[in-house]
Structure formats: structure tokens, C-alpha cells
Structure 1
Amino acid sequence: MSLFFAKLAVSILVVLALSMLAERAGPRVAGVLSGYPLGTAILLFFIAVEQGVHFAGESAVYALPGLIATLAFLYAYYLVSRLLLRWSVLVQVLASSMASFAAFVFVSWLGQKVSFTLLTATVSLFIAMIAAIFLFRAIENVSILQRVKITHKIVAVRAATAAFIVVAISGAAAMIGPRWSGLFAGFPVTLYPMILILHWSYGVAPVHTVIRNFPRGMGALLIYIVSVSLTYPRFGIGAGTLLAFGAATIYLVFYSSVVWWRSRRIVQSG
């Protein structure tokens, strides 16, 4: 029971922090930081606690193609929501979500039929990231100009959405073996609730900005998962998680520094 409440607490805090960051720092920043291994880390950590480090280490390999399924999820959401711009927000959210889930399940189903090694899974995800950056390159970066007033009701809805998704995915993953567990660990546990929150509160444009920038921050996820697959069996859950987060943080700091440096040069040259 304490593990159940731990899942709830961690997932709720992460989703609320990300959605508030998107409102204050902007969807572009939130999109990049969504590539930080938050939801995947939560799921792999609890899978390791419940099923053991070797199970989690094997699952981590399949979390990489699971992230390819996440990119398919985002692309489907982008395409459908763009086609339904004249429809109500409710129709946009429901139709986009159904298409996204279908894309994720289909790509995951294909992924579990392949015997991935750590190397082949890493290369496959890297190629998918480059393809996603190319596909999303035309999306315009927008900011949230007028924030919705945060009420207790809004906080409760956000928290409930996050809690339901994390508990459902981690609970199901524990019963279906390391391949499907790893693939489900790639599910956008924290990103999807944030997308729902932004879409419902601000419309589709900020959501598309998040989608555009997510693949650019996915290097941190890739590094985290590779690190987990190597460190969990060798060093255990605690040390392995810290080492993996350290490696992912170094990447994200480096990437953010490069982006900041390029932006500064563009401003100076302009």
C-alpha cells in the first residue's frame, strides 16, 4: 500500500510541476524538459522495486523502442488535432487521444516482435528522434500569453489524471513480462497529462509547441534508459537511478547551453 501511495505522490508532483512550468516558462521549455526521464524513470524504478533489478534492466532495453511508440503517439496527436482545428476542444482532445493510443499500441506491438539488443534499440531510437525533429520542424513555437487561474478543481483534475495513468501503466506492466513492461515504460506518463491540461486550457497551439520540442530533449531519456540497463543489475536500484539521472542531467545541461549560446549569437548578429 505504501508503494501505491508513493506512485501517486511522485507522479502527481511531476505532472503538476511540468504543467505549471509550461504555463510560466512556456511550452517550448516544457517540451524540451519533458524529454527529461521523469515518467519513464518513475515506471522503471517501480518495476525494479516490484520485479527486481534484472527484470527492470531487461525492460529498460525495450523502453527504447517504447519511446519510438511515444513519438508515434505524439505524431498522431499532432496530425489529428491539426485536422480538427474547427471542431470543439472536447472533440479535438478525444479524437486526438484515441488516435494517439492506437498509434502507440500498434508501434509497441511491432516492437515486441523484434529481439532488440541494447545497441540496436539505441540506434533505432536515435534514427526515430532525427525523423521526428524533421517531421515537427514546421511547427511554430508559441507562448502562453494569458494563463488560466489555477483553482483547487483544476489542481485536482491534473492530479487525478496523472495518478490514474501511472498506476494503470505500472500495474499492467508488472504482469506482462519485461518486453511489454519496457515498451509501456516508454509511454508518456507525465507528458500526456500535461498535453491534456494545455489543450483543454489553452487550445492546440501550445500543445503543438510541446510536441515540436519533445524530440529535441529526448537525448536525456535515451541516455537515462541506457544507463539504467547497465547500472541497475550492477549497482542496484538506488545507485543506478542516481547514476542514470546524473548522466541524463549532464546531457540536458549541455543541450540547453548549446541552444542558449546559439540563440544569443542570433540575437547579437541580428
Structure 2
Amino acid sequence: MFLVLSPLLLLKLFLVPALVALITLAGRRWGPAMAGWISGFPVVAGPALLFIALDQGAAFAAQAAHVTLMAVMANVAFGVTYAWMATRHHWPLCAAAGVLAFALVGWALVSLRPPAWVALLVGLLGLQLAARAMPRVAFVNPGGVASRWELPVRCAAAGVLVATVTWSAAELGPVGSGMLTIFPVMGMVLGVFSHRAWGGQGAIHLLTGMVKGLYAFVVFCFALALALTAMGTPAAFGLALAAALVVQWLTYQRGA
């Protein structure tokens, strides 16, 4: 007896890992800062929220997107904390400190429950401050050979997160789904492997690039939080994706 996989299930299983693989290859080609900037785009959260909308409905996904927007600065807190810890410490301590910062800031922000437009302003202003707060270090590629486990582990971690969020959404509720969606899986996986491959300076450059790329993430979640119940799932995701692409292009132009 063969297990029949639906197209939606196949999409859930392979879309995000494929995107993470492309980001990994981009990092090898153009360096950690570019990989971080690309991963700031809603590569994981976008598909996760889409699957939530398809499984649980537009209203549920709109609430989850609102929570994700509120907690964006928790993701940023992870990046800033990890980056400063990486100036002196090895990756296990950096990752632990970053996750603790994420949990504390995320709990505080979600407890306040600001409206979407306030969360948008907090996110945009917070990203400006976070970019300035990052440590400044020069990046020199040591020329090490990447581990053969790097790419599979990155892809598996992202895939597991999306699967967990979408298949547990009903039990987690909109708040739990939104918080798990914003969990810094990209920062954790990419940051740790960059740290191991290029040292602390590599992780710092990747996380700095990620902060610069999160503007598109913020706009994407804001558009979904407002548009899902008003426009329906296809139109809302089309609008949010278009807005995120425009913002991503603007940040690229500014960075260039």
C-alpha cells in the first residue's frame, strides 16, 4: 500500500527547505551579509502563514500574522544579542543567550497587544536602531571547507518548523502559531553555521544583513494582518508578497 501525498503536503515538505538551500548557496557565493539580507525576507514565515490560512482560515491566519508582526523585535533581539556575544564567545553560549532574549522580548511585546499600525511603527523604528546597535567587525573569509552536514541540517530545521506550526496551529491557537512562526530558526541555523564556518565575524555579518532585510518581513506581516479578512487568502498574500518584494528591492538599493 502506497502513501499518496497531496500537492499541498508536498509543498509544505519541500518549499521552505528548497528556499533555505538557495540562501545557503547564496551565502557561499556572496558571503554571509548577503545570505542574511535574503533570509530577512519572509522565507519561512510566509509559507507557514499561507499553510495556516489554508488549513485554519483567513481570520485565524490574520491573527497569527498580527502576533508575528508584534514579535518581530523579539527576533531582532535574538540577532543583536547573538552578535554581541559572538565577539567573545563560542556559538552554544551565543545561541542560548539569543533564545533567552527572544523569549523575554517576545513575551513583553505580545503581552502589550499593540494594534497592527503601532506594531508596524515599532518594527520599522526598531530595525533602524538595531542596525546601529550591531557590532562593527571586518569580514575576512578564512577559506574553510563547509561541512557536508551544513546544507541538510539547515533545510531540515526550517522544514521542521513549518511543519510544526502548520500541523499544530489548531492546538497552539493564533498567538502560539504567530510566536512559533517568528521564532528565529533562520537566525539560529544560519547564524550557528556561519559562526562555525567563518568565526564570530561571519555570524555578525550574517545577522546584520538579516536585520537589514527584515523590513520586507515587517511589511509582509502588516499587509496580511489587515488584508486577509478583507480580501481573502489569495489576494491578501499576493498583495503582501508584492509589497515585501518592493521593500526588499528598496533595501537592496539603499545597501548598494
CA contact (8 A) 2:24 2:151 kept: no
Give the stretch that moved more between structures: 251-260 or 222-231. Answer: 251-260
CA contact (8 A) 1:40 1:187 kept: no
Match of 1:101 among 68, 92, 99: 99
Matched, 1:48 2:53: yes
What residue in structure 2 maps to residue 89 of structure 1?
none
In structure 1, distance between residues paired with 2:167 and 2:136: 35
State the SS of the aligned residue for 1:142. coil
Match of 2:27 among 22, 26, 51: 22
Match of 1:70 among 45, 68, 75: 75
In structure 2, distance between residues paired with 1:258 and 1:154: 31
CA contact (8 A) 1:21 1:30 kept: yes
Match of 2:177 among 166, 181, 188: 181
Matched, 1:39 2:35: no
Aligned CA distance change for structure 1 residues 201 and 259 (closer, same or farther; 3 Å):
closer
In structure 1, distance between residues paired with 2:200 and 2:74: 21
CA contact (8 A) 2:120 2:219 kept: no
CA contact (8 A) 1:67 1:187 kept: no
Superposition TM-score, scaled by structure 2 size: 0.87
CA contact (8 A) 1:76 1:99 kept: yes
What residue in structure 2 maps to residue 192 of structure 1?
188
Q: How does 1:60-209 map to 2 (within 5 A)?
A: 60-84=65-89, 92-136=90-134, 138-142=135-139, 144=141, 146=143, 148=145, 151=148, 153-209=149-205
CA contact (8 A) 2:169 2:177 kept: yes
CA contact (8 A) 1:39 1:188 kept: no
Which AA in structure 2 matches 1:225? C
Q: How far is the alpha carbon of 1:174 from its aligned partner? A: 4.1
CA contact (8 A) 1:72 1:104 kept: yes
In structure 2, distance between residues paired with 1:154 and 1:127: 34
Matched, 1:233 2:238: no
Structure 2 unaligned blocks of 5 or more: none
Alpha-carbon displacement from aligned partner over 1:120-177 (angstroms, at most 9, x marks no partner): 11122122212201211x42352535252574x4433333232233333444554222
In structure 2, distance between residues paired with 1:67 and 1:249: 18
Structure 1 unaligned blocks of 5 or more: 85-91, 261-270
Q: How many residues get paired?
A: 251
CA contact (8 A) 1:27 1:143 kept: no
CA contact (8 A) 2:187 2:207 kept: no
Aligned CA distance change for structure 1 residues 247 and 11 (closer, same or farther; 3 Å):
same
CA contact (8 A) 1:224 1:247 kept: yes
In structure 2, distance between residues paired with 1:98 and 1:258: 32
Q: How far is the alpha carbon of 1:237 from its aligned partner? A: 2.1
Aligned CA distance change for structure 1 residues 195 and 179 (closer, same or farther; 3 Å):
same
Aligned CA distance change for structure 1 residues 174 and 106 (closer, same or farther; 3 Å):
farther
CA contact (8 A) 1:31 1:217 kept: yes
Superposition TM-score, scaled by structure 1 size: 0.83
Aligned CA distance change for structure 1 residues 109 and 154 (closer, same or farther; 3 Å):
closer
Q: In percent, how many aligned pairs have the same letter?
A: 24
Which AA in structure 2 matches 1:16? A
Give the stretch that moved more between structures: 118-127 or 164-173. Answer: 164-173
Matched, 1:7 2:3: no
State the SS of the aligned residue for 1:83. coil
Alpha-carbon displacement from aligned partner over 1:46-100 (angstroms, at most 9, x marks no partner): 221221111111221121122111011112212322231xxxxxxx222222222
CA RMSD of aligned residues (A): 2.2
State the SS of the aligned residue for 1:113. helix
Which AA in structure 2 matches 1:246? A
CA contact (8 A) 1:16 1:159 kept: yes
Aligned CA distance change for structure 1 residues 206 and 35 (closer, same or farther; 3 Å):
same
Q: How far is the alpha carbon of 1:200 from its aligned partner? A: 2.4
